[in-house]
Amino acid sequence: MVINIKELPKEKYLLPGNAACPGCPESLGLKYLGMALGDKVILVVPAGCTSVIQGLAPGAGFKFPTLNVPFASSDSVASGLAAAKEILGEDAVVVAWAGDGGTADIGFATLSGAAERNDNIIHICVDNEAYMNTGIQRSSLTPYGAWTTTTWTGKRERKKDLALIMLAHRVPYVATASIAYPTDFIEKVRKAASIKGFKFIHLHAPCPVGWRFDPGKTVTVAKLAVETGMWILYEAVDGKVTISPFSRPYLDKSKRKPIREYLKLQDRFRNIRDEDIKKLEQMVDEAWETLLKFA
Amino acid sequence: MVVKPLTGNYAAAWAAKLARVKVVAAFPITPQTTIVEKLAQFIESGEMDARMIRVESEHSALAAVYGAASGGVRAFTATASHGLMYMHEMLWWVAGARIPMVMAVAMRTMGPPWNIWTDHSDIMGQRDTGWLIMLAEHNQEVLDETIKMFKITEDERVYLPGIVGLDAFILSHTTEPVDLPDQEVVDTFLPGRKQPYSFRPGDPLIMGNIPRSLKENMKMREDIHRSQEAAKEVIGEVDKEWGELTGRSYGGLVECYRCSDAKHFIVGAGAWVGDMREAVDRLRAEHGFKAGLVKVRYVRPFPREEMVKWLANAKSVIVFDRSVSPGSAGPLFLDTVTHLTISGVRAPVKNVLAGLTGLDVTYGDIMDAFIASVSEVEEMGTFTKTIEWFYGR
């Protein structure tokens, strides 16, 4: 299935007047989600940036039916909602749309529970690599060495490999994606929607506010994450990993750009030391090596 | 109609089945567990046409049934004690979203230490969430009130979720004969699901985004309060309707036992009301006291009008609480005193804190507490000690 961007529906689901920051990667993701699935989507959104992006009630800059829910509940609410839609025979795709905190940290138990039960929902983790909505605090998905407002001298722990953990749940579909590659993301969302059971998509979403870069460079930074090999695009159907076309060139390590090019655009890495960059490079190599064992 | 020997837990499970619940989600906790075990059995055997979502925590249990109910189907869960406290955040969300659903709570004390016996700390800790809260006296009432609670919560004047409380073990695991209504009777009484809104694909409805106006937001809180007040009438109507169909009516929010000529009143809620009845009978027969009993069925909405009606001319009122707000007093006492006082009732009111952490309370204990307190009032016109920790004989 190849996505032709010109043939995507023009209907907008993220509307003017929404409250996203300039250069917001989540709003890009939401636009692509609308292009991918249109009217079939019902969103379940735990606390996070997307709670704010919707805009102020009683208005909304959102055309998705949206159920806002407490942090640690999104996948369970989505499971119940999906069950109701099946019982009532309505053709809906229930999507839990959560940040890194709502997915990998406070929301992790509900995520793992829904995955283990193989409930018929899609969980999309919009990963901006810190708790941005509360003011840039570190999460388990913040990368090693990054400044946040709770790691002033740089995070000392590595980024949790969330997609691999979801793969270990042996759910029918796991994928990574990036807001810089909309066709790849849309294709994955559509594929996920066509599969019954639990689907997980980890969407890399560089945040200009939290990562300290020019809001005009969101897509550039996101692309560099892929081109340096720091973010690997892949999908796994029934546990079998396939590297996605946009990441395939970087199977060859020599094709990867130096990670410094990615780091230097972001002020969160402004004070990173050379030895920490070496460690990050090592982590990139390890991530590829581990992932390819499942290919 | 058939009479079956049922535990309180099985009565709750039968009620959910008869109410044609479509989604059940729960996490096991003693002493609630057999409610959902029974429902799982009903569902797996095909006797009940519903989905069971076997969640990984109580927080997720309430989240899942909330999702299902928001999607437009009748949903049910059950929990107790720490499980209810773990759900606490979600209780606010369900009530605030105005989504009707029903939960059974097998009332159990809180730790530490680990303790599985009854008191009302768990359920009383939910008074501010916006849920309707009732406490049953016996297993028949568990069954009847669980079915009725669906009707009450799905009434457009209410549109709030509701809890039916049953005391740990005293009801949850004790078998009593329970009159099971026929499915047709329940179907007549409880037609299809009603709720204020539901989420459907292609219908861009948003629940819970940030409000522009905090005045509007505050009005939403007031609206919950108003609906609680409106629920008083609905509870009365539904009780009457159920009474006409089954012959069992409980008198709405409050039942007053031997009240017509009573001077000294016991106030209580939950299973020990059965012991209070026995105590009142014996206090009258053996000691000549004009004793009466106010059984508080609903603690939310609090039955202000009925309490005032029954207690307006009381010589004394003893409120038995099976939980306490440390640093203040028992919750039933606090509500009783508040609503009597603001309504101009000036009877002396005493709080007896008894049976906390599951310490057994017999009708004899209730008589002892009553005789000591009432003798004091008769001698001195008032209570010397208004809050008493009572450990029994």
CA distance from start to end of chain B:
43
Determine the distance in angstroms separating the CA of B153 from the nearest CA of chain A, rounded to an integer: 19
Last residue within a domain, chosen from B246, B270, B285: B246
Nearest in space to B254 (alpha carbons), one of B178, B372, B315, B339? B339
DSSP string covering chain A: ----GGGS----SB-TT--PPTT-HHHHHHHHHHHHHGGGEEEEEESSHHHHHT-SBTS-SB-S-EEEE-GGGHHHHHHHHHHHHHHTT---EEEEEEEHIIIIITTHHHHHHHHHTT-S-EEEEEE-SSBTTTTSB--TTSPTT--BTTBTT---SPPP-HHHHHHTTT-SEEEEEETT-HHHHHHHHHHHHHSSS-EEEEEE---HHHHT--GGGHHHHHHHHHHTTSS--EEEETTEEEE-TTTGGGGSGGGSPPHHHHHTT-GGGTT--HHHHHHHHHHHHHHHHHHHTT-
pLDDT above 70 covers what percent of chain A?
100
How far is the alpha carbon of A50 from chain B, nearest alpha carbon, in Å? 10
Same domain, B127 and B144: yes
Q: How far is A133 from chain B (nearest CA, A)?
A: 13
Domains of chain A as residue ranges with CATH: 10-292 (3.40.50.970)
Same domain flag for B235 and B269: no
| pLDDT for A4 | 87
Alpha-carbon gap: A144 to the closest alpha carbon of chain B (Å):
31
Say if B251 is an interface residue toward chain A (CB within 8 Å): no
Probe site for chain B from A41, A42, A86 (most B CB atoms < 10 A): A42
Assess whether B221 and B274 both reside in one domain: no
- Same domain, yes or no, for B29 and B172? yes
pLDDT, residue B71, reads 98
Chains A and B: how many Cβ contacts under 8 Å? 169
Domain-ending residue, one of B215, B246, B277: B246
Measured in angstroms, the CA of B22 and the nearest CA of chain A are apart by 8
Identify which of A40, A51, A69 has the shortest CB distance to residue B210: A51
Distance CA B229, CA B226 (A): 5
Q: Are B264 and B370 in contact (CB under 8 A)?
A: yes
Mean pLDDT of B265-290: 98
Chain A nearest CA to B219, separation (Å): 13
CATH of the domain at B316: 3.40.50.920
| B67/A52 touch (CB, cutoff 8 Å), yes or no | no
* DSSP bridge pairs for B211: A57
Pairing of strands A173-178, A93-99: unpaired
Q: Does B49 touch chain A (CB under 8 A)?
A: no
Tell me the two tokens of residue B185: 């009777």
Question: Cα B8 to chain center, whole Å?
Answer: 13
Q: Burial level of B215, CB count in 10 A (0-12/13-18/19+)?
A: exposed
Other beta carbons less than 10 A from residue B37's beta carbon: 15
Question: B240 and B264 in one domain?
Answer: no
Condensed to tens digits (0 to 9), the pLDDT of residues A60-91 reads: 999 999 999 999 999 999 999 999 999 999 99
Residues near A88 by beta carbon (within 8 Å), at least 6 away in sequence: B71, B72, B73
Cα distance between residue A226 and residue A53, in whole Å? 26
Nearest CA-CA distance, residue B41 and chain A, Å: 18
Confidence of residue B363 (pLDDT cuts 50, 70, 90): very high
Of B64, B93, B204, which is closest to A79 when you measure between CB atoms?
B64
Give residue B50's domain range.
Answer: 2-246
**Torsion from C-alpha of A21, A24, A27, A31, nearest 10 degrees:** 130
What is the b/e burial string over A1-27, where b = at least 16 CB atoms within 10 angstroms of the residue's CB? eebeeeebeeeebbeeebbbbebbbbb
Chain B residues within 8 A of A69 when measuring between CB atoms: 63, 66, 93, 208
Is B96 an 8 Å CB contact of chain A?
Answer: no
3-state secondary structure of B140: helix
Q: Report the pLDDT value the prediction gives residue A1, as an integer from 0 to 100.
A: 62
Are residues B208 and A39, on separate chains, in Cβ contact within 8 Å? Answer: no
* CATH label of the domain that carries residue B210: 3.40.50.970
B279 and B241 inside one domain:
no
On whether both B232 and B259 belong to a single domain, the answer is: no
3-state secondary structure of B363: helix
Q: Rounded to whole angstroms, how far apart are CA atoms A65 and B264? A: 57
Contacts of B220 in chain A (CB under 8 A): none
pLDDT digits (tens, 9 = 90+) for B4-31: 999 999 999 999 999 999 999 999 999 9
Q: Which of B56, B73, B205 sits opposite A84 (nearest CB)?
A: B73
Using CB atoms, pick whichever of B51, B64, B204 lies closest to residue A76: B64
What residues of B are in contact with residue A84 (Cβ under 8 Å)? 22-23, 67-73, 198
Q: What is the overall mean pLDDT for chain A?
A: 97
Out of A68, A109, A113, name the one closest to residue B209 (CB). Answer: A68
Whole-structure pTM value: 0.97
Q: Can you say how many angstroms the Cα of residue A165 is from the centroid of all Cα atoms in its chain?
A: 15
Q: CA end-to-end span of chain A, whole Å?
A: 20
Is-cis flag, bond preceding A9, omega within 30? no
The C-alpha torsion from A196 through A200 and A204 to A205, rounded to 10°, is 80
Cis-peptide, bond into residue B112, ω within 30° of zero: yes
- What Å distances lie between residue A57 and A19, A62, A77, B213, B260, CA to CA? 12, 11, 21, 8, 53
- Which pLDDT does position A25 carry in this prediction? 98
Min distance A154 CA to chain B CA atoms (Å): 33
CB contact under 8 A, A76 and B75: no
Q: What is the mean pLDDT of residues B168-178?
A: 98
Instruction: Please choose, from the candidates B192, B199, B162, B202, the residue with its C-alpha nearest in 3D space to the C-alpha of residue B78.
Output: B162
SS3 B3: strand
Looking at B246, B274, B299, which one is the last position of a domain? B246
- Separation CA B38–CA B32 (nearest Å): 11
Asked whether the beta carbons of A141 and A126 are under 8 A apart, the reply is no
Total domains in chain B come to: 2
Are B285 and B381 contained in the same domain? Answer: yes
Among residues A165, A13, A22, the alpha carbon closest in space to that of A97 is found at A13
C-alpha A227/C-alpha A265 separation (Å) is 14
Percent of chain A with pLDDT over 90: 97
If asked whether residues B91 and B113 sit together in one domain, one would say yes
Contacts of B208 in chain A (CB under 8 A): 67-69
Q: What is the ipTM of this complex?
A: 0.96
Instruction: Tell me how far apart the alpha carbons of residues B157 and B228 are, in angstroms, rounded to a whole number.
Output: 9
SS3 for A49-80 is HHHHHCCCECCCCECCCEEEECHHHHHHHHHH
For chain B, the average pLDDT equals 97
Residue type for position B36: V
CB contact under 8 A, B53 and A83: yes
What are the residues whose beta carbons fall under 8 Å from the beta carbon of B176, sequence distance 6 or more?
B5, B6, B7, B8, B138, B139, B140
> Which contacts qualify for B181-189: CB closer than 8 Å, 24 or more apart?
B181/B1, B181/B18, B181/B147, B181/B245, B181/B246, B182/B1, B183/B18, B185/B1, B185/B245, B185/B246, B186/B18, B186/B19, B186/B20, B186/B147, B187/B20, B188/B245, B189/B147, B189/B151, B189/B241, B189/B242, B189/B245
Interface probe with A: pick from B60, B90, B92, most Cβ of A within 10 Å: B60
Does B55 sit within 8 Å of A67, measured CB to CB?
no
- The span from the CA of B323 to the CA of B337, in Å, is 16
Residues B201 and B281 in one domain: no
Q: Is A43 left (phi over 0), alpha (psi -120 to 50) or beta?
A: beta
**Contact yes or no for A112 and B56 at CB 8 A:** yes
Q: Between chains, do A76 and B60 touch, taking CB under 8 Å as contact?
A: yes
- A208 preceded by cis ω (within 30°)? no
On the question of pLDDT at B329 being above 80, the answer is: yes
Q: Count Cβ neighbours within 10 Å for each residue of A279-293 and write b for 16 or more, e otherwise.
A: ebbebbeebbeebee
User: Which of A79, A112, A116, A198 is the mutation pick for testing B, counting most B CBs within 10 A?
Assistant: A79
CB contact under 8 A, A54 and B210: yes
Q: How many CA atoms lie within 13 A of B294 on its CB side?
A: 32
* Pair (B260, B237) in one structural domain: no
B73 CB near a chain A CB, below 8 Å? yes
Average pLDDT over residues A98-112: 98
The B residues from 127 to 156 touching A (CB cutoff 8 Å) are: none
Tens digits of residue pLDDT in A164-198: 999 999 999 999 999 999 999 999 999 999 999 99
pLDDT at B103 over 70: yes
**Nearest residue in B to A110, CA atom:** B60
Average pLDDT over residues A268-287: 97
Q: Residue B55's closest chain A neighbor by CA?
A: A113
Q: Are residues B264 and B368 in the same domain?
A: yes
| Residues A78, B67: C-beta atoms closer than 8 Å | yes
